[in-house]
A and B are shown apart, each in its own frame.
Chain A
Amino acid sequence: MGVNERTKNVGCHCLARSRLPLMRSPQLQAHIYILAAVATVLSAVCVRAQNVQPAGATNHIVVIRQVHFNPPQMTVKAGETVEWKNEDIFSHTVTADDGSFDSGLIDPDNSWQRTFQQAGTVGYHCRPHPNMRAALVVQGTNGTGAAANAASRGGTLKWSPPTKAQELHPILVNFTAALLPLAFLSDVLGRIFRRQSFHHTAWWMVLYAAVITPFTAAAGWWWRLTEGSTLPAKLITVHEWLGTTAVLLFVVLAIWRWSIHKRDTSPNWAYLTFALIVVLALVYQGSLGGRMVFGK
């Protein structure tokens, strides 16, 4: 009986192993369920968010009527949003004289908005009608950027679900930024203390990072596509491509880590070196992101 049962167990184990290498124990199955749940929630959040028009609070309105910008000069505070409403019968653009922004053609009865972070005076005009000229004075707050501006306004503690890329990206970044360095640290600790549980933890964190990071990058791209003109051009170009590369690197890293996990060994130095490079790239990537939001 005992022998029979053991044989049966082994057979079951082998079957499961040959079909799905991951489904080794109920504990691992639970991990997969959690992972699936996280992915579902995240994709639900992203789909919902994309359906909602990013309704930025408009602080000021410039009306375009009879081939004029009204008012022709306006003063706003850094971090405030200006909306241009085209109430004319012709299409117009809002184009910075220094090339720092361009609305593209705004058709009649449409509008365009932009948030201004950098203090200074910027003249703008309409490309099709160069005689339409106006200016915007952006007053700096005590600090620079959105954080300082939120501080000066007092901010709000009221909870509201994240609906804009500017809210989702920083939230998702937390997961990416925490999981990968911790996975690396966990592998290093596993080698120091020769404990396999550290390596198991590392594998799962690398997997989570590879699953979540595409969402982080998608939110980043969404931000870039909707409000990209408000971000420093040089920084955002590096940030967007480094971020996209990171998504691919994470997938490579996860596959590599999985092959190590499958053999139930601890990672070799080649893997750890690669992981360290990715972690350092991630730190640099994070510093670029911070610089764009909070200034130098």
Chain B
Amino acid sequence: MKLRKSYLSVFTSAVLLVAGAVTAYAQAPTDPQIAGIVQTANHIDINQAKLALKKTSNPQVKEFANQMISDHTSLEKSVNDLAKKLGVTPEDSATSKQLKQQAADETKKLASLRGKAFDKEYASHEVAFHQTVIDAAKTTLIPNANNAELKSALEGAAPLLQGHLEHAQQLEQSLGAK
């Protein structure tokens, strides 16, 4: 039953993500918007990891959250450096706004949970979130990036996000098995 619930949440997120990606594709984001989307995604993941550090007592979840903060802070810095170098000022877009709204809802949900329920929700949301971002990068951000350097930076971030996804999946599995 619990398993079905978590599948359901992944599925819902996946649908939202595809929907988001499709919308974004239809609107074909500009380079400043792409930079804005990446920045937003970074912010969201760092903030949720900070929340997780406050709420969890599970050492694996703590380790994962610390890694998210460290990795996404480094990624954010490299994105900012690149944007500055290219003279691109990150801009909001429908996609970034949608990401923010989803994150606010999720944060509310996470705030109401505690203990193991929190850990499980955080892990499964991290799986869904990274999947969303990876798909958005593949289908929308990379194909629409005008600047070659921005495009290759986005391509370079893909294995990092894939790593986070697999780590989050491992975490989710180990929490479910306990």
Contact = CB atoms under 8 A, between A and B. Distances in A.
A73 to B, nearest CB: 17
A278 interface: no
Nearest to A132: B163
Interface residues of B, number: 17
A109 to B, nearest CB: 12
B170 interface: yes
Nearest to B156: A66
Given A89-B78, A90-B70, A90-B74, A128 B159 contact: no
Interface in A85-102: 89-91
Contacts of A194: none
A129 B159 CA distance: 9
B74 A128 contact: no
B166 A130 contact: yes
A91 B70 CA distance: 8
A128 B62 CA distance: 12
A75 to B, nearest CB: 24
Interface residues of A, number: 14
Interface string A134-150: 00000000000000000
B167 interface: yes
Contacts of B67: 91, 128
B162 A128 contact: no
B164 interface: yes
Contacts of A127: 167
A131 interface: yes
A257 interface: no
A68 interface: yes
A108 B70 CA distance: 11
A66 B170 contact: no
Contacts of B16: none
Pick the 8 closest A-B CB pairs, nearest first.
A129-B163, A67-B159, A130-B166, A89-B74, A128-B67, A131-B163, A131-B162, A67-B160
